Amino acid sequence: MVMNAESPLRAIVADDSVLLRDGLVRLLTDSGIEVVSAVGDAGALLDAVTEHEPDLCLVDVRMPPTHTDEGLRAAIEIRQRYPHIAVLVLSQYVEERYAGDLLAGDVSGVGYLLKDRVIDVDDFLVSLRRVAAGGSAVDAEVVSQILGRSRRTNELDRLTPREREVLNLMAEGLSNAGIAERLVVSNGAVEKHISNVFTKLGLDVEDGNHRRVLAVLTFLRA
Amino acid sequence: MNSFAPPTQASPGTGAMLSTGGVDTARSSSYGASGRETGGVSDLPPPPPPGSAGSAAPAGAAGPSDRGSGWDWDRAKDLAETWFRPLTAPEGWWALGYLFFSTLAAPFLFAAMVTVAALAFGLTFILVGLLLVVPFFLMVEQFALVERHFAKLAGHRIELLAPRRVTGAGPRNLKNVITDPVRWRHVGFVALNVVLAPMLFGLAAFPLSFVLQAVFGDGIINGPGFSLGTGIDTGAAGILALPLAAFFAGAIPRVAIFMASLKAQIDSWFLGTDRLAVAEMRVSALSSQRNDILDAVASERRRIERNLHDGVQQQLVAIGLDLGMAEHQIDRDPARAKELIGSARQKVQGSIGELRQLGRGLHPAILEDRGVDAALSAVVSGSPIPISVHVDPDLGLTTDVAETVYFIANEAIANVLKHANARVASVHVTRVGPNVRIVVHDDGVGGVDPSKGTGVAGIRARVHGVDGTLTVTSPAGGPTTLIAEIPNGR
């Protein structure tokens, strides 16, 4: 595990399931992230954020008392009040609308992942660090759901399967190098695919990870 | 419990002779239930055909034997007896009396009604009339009751449709009576009866008047004159009048009974329980029950979803996380990895237990295999307080009913454990007539408000969904007794 040379990331974990919360705390601690607070509901989360001003919050969507989306609302509030604090929201199931609410604004330092992604410890930590560093992470499931429901699927139909795959990975928040690694192709090939995608969808070609996610999502939501 | 009695098929009273089709079957079940005291009419064979037999019978009975030569004497005698027997039975005369009294009373009641109405209307301009509105309707209600008493004479029971109660003559009561359709029906009936009663009485009395005229002649009714009553045969008309009079004599009670039941039927259309209204009430009760059930189903599904997502799924994620971390560390720190795997195994056991619980809440397999007793015993075996279970061994429940019983008892037990803070509790499942009764008793803190709390609401929805009844007695300080009674099989 690669440790950060500088001062360790400071994180808050908010999840009402004690088992999972403990697991997440252990995971973060083991990977060199300092967990400054672990809480079980949205109110406690907001209090802890005010108190600790961490670098990152790991937030469960569903928490007491209503067990609906208070975690998400707290996450949005944190984003508004403290734009520099990264928020990674964990959801028990794919809910495009939740993701839409969260990603409606600036998507730098925002992530929305299915909860079970934590099982794949390495990938999860990569996403987590990407979000903490101001990038973004959107769950592949969410992306494909948005893609599937997009009203502009006709234009998406013009993409080759490979280009679609690249778009998916872009939407998830991966960098060119990350995509190249995932697809086991060269960086140059990825760049070519991306420029094709942008051309076909009529988007400006511009580098920068989260901008691309924003662009892609904005386009897909339209 | 079931207020909606199916219509009983034709009451015996009217029999074949007076078979009035729709009128007969439309009469409400109260008729069949109360029964009629008389049975004689129902045994009657069909009426003699209007041809030879019809005239032969009266001839045989009324005429001298020398006229009957060559005829089947015994058969004619039988027919005659059958034809005239109702004359000696009381109900025909009661029916006639009913129509007679109704006819007699109708104009007076109508006049009284119109007078008071006119008075009320006239005085409305000085507002005093408004004070008469409520008494007016109360009076008309009494008139309707009078008619009901008359109908009783003829053995007809009219189940009165109750109007809304009034408690005074204030504005609210005023509005209450004016907007009550039942009261307007009373008014309509009293008005109609002025015409209806004499008309039906006239029809019913026609055979009687014919016979009277035939027997006593013009002295009573001035007809075209086929007098026989003078004792002198006055020719062709008299000869014709004799069998006709005999025929009509037998018809007197039959026609009277028919007209009386027709009148009673019309009465009950106006005054009696409106079966359509009853059905409408039933429908609205059913649809509210259905909504309750849908609500209960929805909240159960939410509960199940929450149990799955917040329980088992979270545990699985936590297990996955443990295993993922173990995988991550197994080379560098085998002891730590082993620890993580052990933790994952423990969580797996917890998940299995939770799934088992969840499944039991949905549909306990033991219920089908071993019945309610075993299933409930399994429920209480894990209870922190002693709960005794008594289930009648020979309930003979269908699967549906058993499931409902189980659900109700299970939910009630869960409530006791959650809220009652009881030291001891008991569950009794017994058969009571056609129903199954579930009694859950505890010595806890009481104060259960049946209108609140999702637990009781769920039970109520379930009980009402099967047309059952639920009573909860729970004074503050306890004890609490929940009694649910549901029909055993539908």
Locate the chain B residue with the closest alpha carbon to A27.
Answer: B325
Chain A residues near residue B318 by CB distance under 8 angstroms:
17, 19-20, 22-23
Asked if B322 lies within 8 A of A93 by C-beta distance, the reply is: no
**Pick from B241, B208, B228: which is nearest to B55 by CA?**
B241
CA dist., res. A90 & res. A20, Å (int): 11
The residue of B314, B346, B348 whose CB has the most chain A CBs within 10 angstroms, and thus the best one to mutate to test that interface, is B314
Length of chain A: 222
Asked if A19 lies within 8 A of B323 by C-beta distance, the reply is: no
Cβ neighbours around A214 below 10 Å, total = 19
Out of A19, A92, A119, the one facing B309 most closely (by C-beta) is: A92
Chain A residues near residue B320 by CB distance under 8 angstroms:
116, 118-119
- Cβ-count burial B337-363 (b if 16+ within 10 Å, e if not): beebbebbeebeebbeeeeeeeebbee
Chain A residues near residue B316 by CB distance under 8 angstroms:
116
**Pick from B452, B458, B451, B459: which is nearest to B482 by CA?**
B459
**Pick from B444, B431, B446, B450: which is nearest to B488 by CA?**
B431
Q: If you write DSSP's letter for every residue of A172-205 in order, what string do you get?
A: HT--HHHHHHHHT--HHHHHHHHHHHHHHHT---
> Strand A34-39 and strand A56-60: pairing?
unpaired
Out of A19, A67, A121, the one facing B315 most closely (by C-beta) is: A19
Q: Which helix H or strand E contains B42, and what residues bound it?
A: none
Determine which of A68-77, B49-58, B166-175 has the lowest per-residue pLDDT on average.
B49-58
**Pick from A133, A111, A134: which is nearest to A124 by CA?**
A111
What's the pTM? 0.51
Question: Is the distance from CB of B40 to CB of B84 less than 8 angstroms?
Answer: no
Quick one: how far is CA B150 from the chain centroid? 25
Chain B residues near residue A26 by CB distance under 8 angstroms:
325
Chain A residues near residue B313 by CB distance under 8 angstroms:
92, 115
CA dist., res. A40 & res. A13, Å (int): 8
Identity of the amino acid at B428 = H
Question: Is the distance from CB of B264 to CB of B154 less than 8 angstroms?
Answer: yes
Asked if B309 lies within 8 A of A17 by C-beta distance, the reply is: no
B interface with A, Cβ–Cβ below 8 Å: 306, 309-310, 313-318, 320-325, 327-329, 347
CA dist., res. B471 & res. B456, Å (int): 10
B86/B262: higher pLDDT = B262
Chain A residues near residue B315 by CB distance under 8 angstroms:
17, 19
Out of B310, B317, B324, the one facing A121 most closely (by C-beta) is: B324
Report pLDDT digits (tens) over B201-241: 888 888 888 787 777 765 444 444 444 444 444 555 556 67
- Cα of B294 to nearest chain A Cα, Å: 21
Q: Which helix H or strand E contains A60, and what residues bound it?
A: strand A56-60
Question: Is the distance from CB of A135 to CB of A56 less than 8 angstroms?
Answer: no
Q: Which of A149-158, B34-43, B325-334 has the highest mean pLDDT?
A: B325-334
The angle at the Cα of B98, spanning B92 to B103, to the nearest 5 degrees, equals 130
Tell me the mean pLDDT in the region B259-275: 79
Residue B33 confidence (pLDDT) above 70 = no
CA dist., res. B68 & res. B64, Å (int): 8
Out of A26, A119, A122, the one facing B320 most closely (by C-beta) is: A119
> Strand A10-14 and strand A34-39: pairing?
parallel
Across the A:B interface, residue pairs with CB atoms under 8 Å apart total: 57
Joined together, the tokens standing for residue A31 give 């990977």
CA dist., res. A184 & res. A169, Å (int): 13
CB under 8 A, 24+ apart: contacts of B355-360: B355/B312, B358/B304, B358/B307, B358/B308, B358/B311, B358/B312
CA dist., res. B479 & res. B483, Å (int): 13
DSSP one-letter code for B469:
E
Question: Is the distance from CB of B397 to CB of B488 less than 8 angstroms?
Answer: yes
Report pLDDT digits (tens) over A72-129: 889 999 988 998 999 999 988 777 677 777 777 677 888 889 888 888 888 899 999 9
Question: Is the distance from CB of A30 to CB of A59 less than 8 angstroms?
Answer: no
Report pLDDT digits (tens) over B114-145: 888 888 888 877 777 777 788 888 888 888 88
Q: If you write DSSP's letter for every residue of B283-328 in order, what string do you get?
A: HHHHHHHHHHHHHHHHHHHHHHHHIIIIIIIHHHHHHHHHHHHHHH
Locate the chain A residue with the closest alpha carbon to B322.
Answer: A23
Q: In which region does residue A61 sit, left (phi positive, over 0), alpha (psi from -120 to 50) or beta (all else)?
A: alpha
As for the ipTM of the complex, it is 0.70
Chain B residues near residue A122 by CB distance under 8 angstroms:
328
Joined together, the tokens standing for residue B76 give 């004619």
Beta-carbon contacts of residue B392 (< 8 Å; ≥ 6 apart): B429, B430, B431
Asked if B310 lies within 8 A of A16 by C-beta distance, the reply is: yes
Looking at residue A219, what is its pLDDT? 54
CA dist., res. B56 & res. B77, Å (int): 10
Report pLDDT digits (tens) over B12-31: 433 333 333 333 333 333 33
CB under 8 A, 24+ apart: contacts of B2-8: B2/B467, B3/B278, B3/B282, B4/B278, B4/B279, B4/B282, B5/B29, B5/B33, B7/B275, B8/B32, B8/B33
Looking at residue A39, what is its pLDDT? 94
Report pLDDT digits (tens) over A131-174: 998 888 888 777 777 666 655 556 667 778 888 888 888 877 78
The residue of A1, A3, A15, A17 whose CB has the most chain B CBs within 10 angstroms, and thus the best one to mutate to test that interface, is A17
